[in-house]
Each structure stands twice: as C-alpha cells, then as structure tokens.
Structure 1
C-alpha cells in the first residue's frame, strides 16, 4: 500500500507540472509560521496536534477587497508514520464568497540520518456563492439584464498533493493545490518552499525562507523572508513579495502551547495611490502536547 501511495503522488505531481506556468492568486504572508496551509504533506510533522486560526484583510480602504478566514488542524497518528489534517476556509472578494473544506493524509519516511520525507494527499470541496444584490440596488431602476438573478452558486471537488522533506534545521516543500475534477489543472496552484534556521548566538536564531508560487495564467512570483528569533519567544522579520509588496512579520510564544502572529503587507503602488493602506493578517496557534516524549520545543517550522 505504501508503494501505491507514493506512486499516486508522483503521477499527480509530474502530470500537473507539465501544465502549470506562473503565478498563484493565493496570498498568505505567514506561510513560514504555518506550512500546513500550503502543503498537505506537512500534516503531523510537528509531532503534536496543532490548531491554527488566521484572519487576513487585504488593501484596507478598498471596498470589496479580499477578506479571508482560515481554520486548520493537523496531528500525527500515534505509533504510526502517518498524519491527518483539516482545513476550513472562507475567502470573500467583492460579491463572491469562496468556501473550502478539505482533509489531508500524509505518510512519512524516516531516515537514519534524522531526516524525514513526508508525502501528502488532500481532498475536499470548494463552493463559490455570488451575491449580486448590492450591484443591482446601485443600478438605475435596480435592473440590468446582466444581473437578472440575485446570485449564483457552484460547487466543485478539489484535490491536492505535496512533498515535505525536513530535518531539525531545514526543510524543502513542493505542493499542488486546487486540482479540479473537470478543469483538471486549469486552476491548479503550485508552491515550492524552503527554509532553514541558523544559531547566531545562544539567544538569537536566524530563519530565512522562500516561497515560489505559480499557476497557469499569471507571472511567477516569490516571497522571500527573514525572521530573527529572540530567546525562542519573539519572532521579528521582513519579507518581499515580487511585483507586489514589502511585508513585516512578528510572532510571540505566549506559552509553550500558544503562539500569536501578526503581519502587515504594504499596498502595491497601483493601489497605494488609491487610498489603500496595505493588509493585515493575524494568526493564533494552539499546540497540544499529547506525545510529550517526541515533541521538540521550541519548534521553528
């Protein structure tokens, strides 16, 4: 069964990359604080049950700007090299509400050198609900042939897959999300990620990371970030998203189980001249420690 699982992932990824060319429309600044949101293979790799809630508001001051809420949870399965996870998300853009729920399954191969390769599969449903009521009410006589119906709904099944190779001080990730049953790879999003930690002193750690994002219809983009970690309690960093924004990141370890993160994205030039003031993202993570003998503290990724 393990060989079949590995073969399935490799077929998915090789087929998809033959059809993908460029930028993803998905934005998530704190990806280095929560890799599971972009890679199903991360499920269970933290060796503890983790629950993460995040809220993101882009382009403050622009009516109808993207507003996202995500809840994610993942955990290892005790005594097995397996992990499972769940994501529930809502993304509102203008009159469109995009809902997604998905579950993940990951299998991990552990090597003698302490490195681990995790392979994940994800499956779920995506629903878009469009409400044209506000547009209709703003039109003369409240009518327009293009908006004869007040709204529309559509639901699709989506799939994803990923690889996550990691050790104590570095990781590499590769994932494909939003593979659809009908359009297949038309809306697929690809993520290539890497990160590491370097001990600069007893109380200071450097954590650089990069995320390259691609889809079929846009330009290739990347997020390049650097965090400084003070006393394993406070994370402060900056990142640059090509063609888009500079971002400021922070995270604090409130207790051994609780982390709180905040980031601010500067607005793109074309929007900053239009009263947009950038974007805010907050994150709350709770980490259960059921398997105390295996949980590493602090955990950098």
Structure 2
C-alpha cells in the first residue's frame, strides 16, 4: 500500500511539473499568531526585547510522505533610532515526500511611533533570503529503474527570494499585509531541472497574507482574542483562517481555529467544481512565566481527508530575553 501511494505521488509530481504555471503552497502554521515573523517581515521587533520561537508541525500523521515542517526564528530591537529598528532571522525546513525546502531569511523593520505614549506604531518590513529546493530520488518507488527523469540521489538548487510587509498595531488591535516569495514573479522555471527534465512544481509561488485581530476584555481575569488570516496565491482558492482565543489570568490561552477555502473572485484557470478544503484546530498556549511560552495545536480535517490520517500535530516554544534597555508600556498580546 505504501509503495503504491509513493508511486502515485511521483506521478502527480511529474504531471504537475509539466505545467509551469503551477507551484506549491507556502507553509502555514496553526499557531501563526505566536510566530508573526513567519507571515510578515514588518513584525520584527514587535516584542521589543529579543524573542526566540521554535515550531514543529507534523501534518496528516500516519499518511506516507506526509508534510513535516519546522523552524526557528529570533527577532528584537537593535537600539538604533530609539527603538525604531527591528531585525530578525528565520530558518525553516519543509519536507513533503521526496521534496525538501530549506530556507534562511533576514528581516528588517522600521517602526514609526504614532503617539507620544508609544501605544501605536506603523511598521514597514523587508526580508531577503535563499531557499534550497531539492528532490530525493532514493525516496521514490518507480517501475522503470532506467528512467532518467528520476534523480539517482538528491537533486537540488538554491534560489534567492525577497518579501515585504506592513504592520500596524495598538495595545488592543493589529493588522498586517505582506507579500512573500516576491522573486517568483520574475524568475522562470529553468533553475528546476534534472538532466533536461523540469521540476517546476517544487518551487513556491508568490503569496499575499492579510492578518488582523483584536483583544476584548470580558472581565479582569478573562480576555477574548479573535483574529483572521487570509492567504492568497492568485491561482488556487483563497485560504481563510478564523481564530478565537480566551486568555485566562494572563497565563493560559485556550482557543480554536477553522480553516476553509473561498472563491473571493473569478480566477480563469480555477476549476469551478472544486470543493473547499476545511480543517479545524484546537490550541493550547501556556505561559510558564513572563519569559517562557509552551504551545500545542491539533488539527483535524472536516472534509474527505477525515479518517485518512491521524490529524496534524504542532508544537511551539517561545522564549523572551528581557532587557533593561526597552521598557514595555503595554503587554504584547499579538
């Protein structure tokens, strides 16, 4: 059974590689709201003190070749221009069957204060990096051992990339807009070849992210945080995440998320008969103290994938390095 599934994966990979207009989706985490740098470079330095976040996601557990994604990021303020400059770095890996992507990004954000109390800022961010895309031929099961389209080992290529974002926040509200994988707009698929065979489907396409959220005080010990994430690649259906968290006594976050696809406008090459791909998540975040955060998310499919896998598991750890240089006037809820 596993061998058959691997063969099907290879057929789909090669078939999609023959269509240069296709490309794979960007990685996405259920706990993105605790890892803002992964969706917007303008987020760098938001917490002011240096912050390290690690995350690992095992999607569709039990399914052969299921995606595994992980990474680590660090960001903070440089001390230049009275806290107006934030910087960050992010290393990410993404594995899907025989495909691998390893990326490194450096981010810069300029943070403009909009009031004397420093409760509102408008941030502009840019990021630059490289991604290594690869296919491991030894991980594939095939019928014709002499097929030259299949690499004998790992075939890989390095591709430069850039991203841009805008981020606005107050003590109770935030909104951000970003464009990721900018260089995919201007580069063709000639880099993704092996002995004359094209593997354009392994590259990522440009994405636009819109995020927004707010914080509503229900009582001195209870706060509600609803948020939304919209992801658009201009080819497939638009992905929408609806999230809600309850913050209890400033220590425990309990929440959930519902993800679905939507057709927000007409796309010429999009099959009208496609059904939405839906998923629901349950999330738990616990602040051990003011510095250490532990998080877990469990995703289950609520579509035809339901029952075909053991769901998706995601864990994250965040650690804040407090500094005397910058003093927070408001808690950082976003």
* Alignment TM-score > 0.5, same fold: yes
Counting only pairs closer than 5 Å after superposition, residues 281-296 of structure 1 correspond to structure 2 as: 281-291=314-324, 294-295=327-328
Q: Indicate the SS of the match to 1:36.
A: helix
Asked if 1:221 corresponds to 2:255, the answer is no
Q: Indicate the SS of the match to 1:270.
A: coil
Contact 2:280–2:299 (Cα < 8 Å) also in 1: yes
Counting only pairs closer than 5 Å after superposition, residues 104-183 of structure 1 correspond to structure 2 as: 104-112=107-115, 114-135=119-140, 138-140=141-143, 142-147=145-150, 149-180=152-183, 183=186
- Hey, what's the Cα distance between the residues in 1 that align with 2:150 and 2:255? 45
What is the RMSD of the two structures over their aligned residues, measured on CA atoms? 2.0
For structure 2, the 5+ residue unaligned runs are 1-23, 189-203, 261-276
- Hey, what's the Cα distance between the residues in 2 that align with 1:28 and 1:298? 23
TM-score, length of structure 2 as denominator length: 0.78
Contact 1:232–1:298 (Cα < 8 Å) also in 2: no
Contact 1:119–1:162 (Cα < 8 Å) also in 2: yes
Q: 1:97/1:258 Cα in 2 relative to 1: closer, same or farther (>3 Å)?
A: same
- Hey, what's the Cα distance between the residues in 1 that align with 2:171 and 2:293? 20
Where does residue 263 of structure 1 map in the other structure?
297
TM-score, length of structure 1 as denominator length: 0.86
Equivalent of 2:98, from 91, 95, 100?
95
Contact 2:27–2:94 (Cα < 8 Å) also in 1: no
Contact 1:187–1:216 (Cα < 8 Å) also in 2: no
- Hey, what's the Cα distance between the residues in 2 that align with 1:246 and 1:104? 31
Offset of 1:293 from its aligned partner?
5.1
- Does 1 or 2 have the higher relative contact order (CA < 8 Å, sep 6+)? 1
Q: Indicate the SS of the match to 2:182.
A: strand
Equivalent of 1:250, from 284, 302, 309?
284
Contact 1:70–1:89 (Cα < 8 Å) also in 2: yes
State the number of aligned residues.
Answer: 276
Q: 1:41/1:176 Cα in 2 relative to 1: closer, same or farther (>3 Å)?
A: same
- Hey, what's the Cα distance between the residues in 2 that align with 1:297 and 1:165? 15
Offset of 1:155 from its aligned partner?
1.0
- Hey, what's the Cα distance between the residues in 1 that align with 2:147 and 2:179? 39
Greater displacement, 259-268 / 166-175: 259-268
Asked if 1:278 corresponds to 2:311, the answer is yes
- Hey, what's the Cα distance between the residues in 1 that align with 2:319 and 2:123? 22
Contact 2:283–2:298 (Cα < 8 Å) also in 1: yes
Q: 1:111/1:189 Cα in 2 relative to 1: closer, same or farther (>3 Å)?
A: same
For structure 1, the 5+ residue unaligned runs are 1-22
